[in-house]
Amino acid sequence: MSDLILVLDEGTTSTRAMLFGLDGTMHGVAQKELTQHYPQPGWVEHDAGEIWERTLACAREAVDKVGAERIACIGITNQRETVVAWDEQTLEPLSRAIVWQDRRTADFCAVLKAQGHEPDVQAKTGLLLDPYFSGTKMRWLLDHDERVRQAAAKGTLALGTVESWLVANLSGGQAHITDASNASRTQLLALDGAQFDDGLCELLGVPRDALPKVVDTHGPLAEASAEWFGRVIPITGMVGDQQSATLGQGCLSFGDTKATYGTGAFVLANKGDELPHSDNRMLGTVLCQQAGQRTYAIEGSVFVAGSLVQWLRDQLGLISSAAETEALARSISHSGEVVIVPALSGLGAPHWRAEARGVMTGLSFSSGKAQIARAALEAMAHQTHDLAEAFAADGAAWKCLRIDGGMSANDWMAQDLADMLGLTVERPDFVETTALGAAMSAAVGAGLYRSLEEASAAMRGSVRTFEPAMDDSVRQERLARWRKALTAA
Q: Which of 269, 303, 304 is nearest to 287 (CA)?
A: 269
The full 3-state SS of the chain, as one line of letters, equals CCCEEEEEEECCCEEEEEEEECCCCEEEEEEEECCCECCCCCCCEECHHHHHHHHHHHHHHHHHHHCHHHEEEEEEEECCCCEEEEECCCCCECCCEECCCCCCCHHHHHHHHHCCCHHHHHHHHCCCCCCCCHHHHHHHHHHHCHHHHHHHHHCCEEEEEHHHHHHHHHCCCCCCEEEHHHHCCCCCCCCCCCCCCHHHHHHHCCCHHHCCEEECCEEEEEEECHHHHCCCEEEEEEEEHHHHHHHHCCCCCCCCEEEEECCCEEEEEEEECCCCCCCCCCEEEEEEEECCEEEEEEEEEECCCHHHHHHHHHCCCCCCCCCHHHHHHHCCCCCCCCEEECCECEECCCCCECCCCCEEECCCCCCCHHHHHHHHHHHHHHHHHHHHHHHHHCCCCCCCEEEECHHHHCHHHHHHHHHHHCCCEEEECCCCHHHHHHHHHHHHHCCCCCCHHHHHHHHCCCEEEECCCCCHHHHHHHHHHHHHHHHHC
Q: What pLDDT shows up at residue 338?
A: 97
Query: For residue 448, what are the contacts with CB-CB under 8 A and spacing of at least 6?
Result: 5, 22, 72, 73, 455
Q: What is the pLDDT of residue 354?
A: 80
- Rounded distance between C-alpha atoms, residue 418 and residue 435, angstroms: 25
Write out pLDDT tens, residues 348-387.
889 988 889 999 999 999 999 999 999 999 999 999 999 9
Q: Give residue 1's pLDDT.
A: 74
Q: What is the pLDDT of residue 394?
A: 86
Count of CB atoms situated within 10 Å of the CB of 27: 15
Q: What are the residue ranges in the chain where pLDDT is below 50?
A: none
Task: Parse the chain into domains and list their residue ranges.
Answer: 4-242
Mean residue pLDDT across the chain: 95
In CATH, 4-242 is 3.30.420.140: no
48/37 Cα distance (integer angstroms): 12
The model carries a pTM of 0.86
- Which residues neighbour 447 within 8 Å (Cβ) at sequence distance 6 or greater? none
Distance CA 346, CA 348 (A): 7
